[in-house]
Amino acid sequence: MKKLWFALSIVAFSGASLSAAEEKNIVETAVSAGSFKTLAAALTAAGLVDTLKGNGPFTVFAPTDEAFAKLPPGTVANLLKPENKGMLIDILTYHVVSGNVPSGAAIKLTEATALNNKKIKLQVKEGSLFLNTAKVTTADVKCSNGVIHIIDAVLLPPATDKDKGN
């Protein structure tokens, strides 16, 4: 059954126990995991750290360092430049949904609206949840102010309002 994958996907989060993650906010949880250095740097450059440390709740689709490494060479360095802050904010807020959306609810959705008001397509394929073309590799990392779902690719928002949800 397709939903079975999610029941089995709650695994240790980079060696830390899930109960320890629940005591930390989203940013603290990601930083302590050690596999989100690029995401942490991007959140800092975009000025979004305090937002994601806030009360929430938030659902964050967190790309790993490996996911960022799949982008064309120079992309991350270019996005971290001060003159590209608006573009960086658009990309990062496309990885966040307002509210607490556990995997059990996410698998029932066909789309979600990100904080940047652009649509993310959700679908279950071969027992795994996909957001556009990014696969959720670990679901339901609970934090004090929401939940993290770890993904294997960076989500790139549609370029225009006309493209929303594509």
pLDDT (0 to 100) of residue 166: 39
User: Residue 17: CB partners within 8 Å, gap ≥ 6?
Assistant: none
How far is CA 46 from each of CA 39, 51, 85, 166, rounded to the nearest angstrom?
10, 11, 6, 25
Single-letter amino acid code for the residue at 140: D
Region 146-160: what's the mean pLDDT?
A: 92
Q: Name the band, by pLDDT with cuts 50, 70 and 90, for residue 120.
A: very high
Q: What is the pTM of this model?
A: 0.83
CATH class of the structural domain 4-163 = mainly beta
Q: Who has greater pLDDT, 54 or 162?
A: 54
Q: Which amino acid is at 39?
A: L
Q: How far apart are the first and last CA of the chain?
A: 27
58-63/146-151 β-pairing? parallel
Q: Give the largest CA-CA distance in the chain.
A: 47
Model pLDDT, residue 23: 83
Residue 163 predicted with pLDDT over 50? no
Q: Cβ of 23: how many Cβ atoms within 10 Å?
A: 12
Contacts of 30 (CB under 8 A, 6+ apart): 36, 39, 40, 60, 62, 148
pLDDT above 90 for 3: no
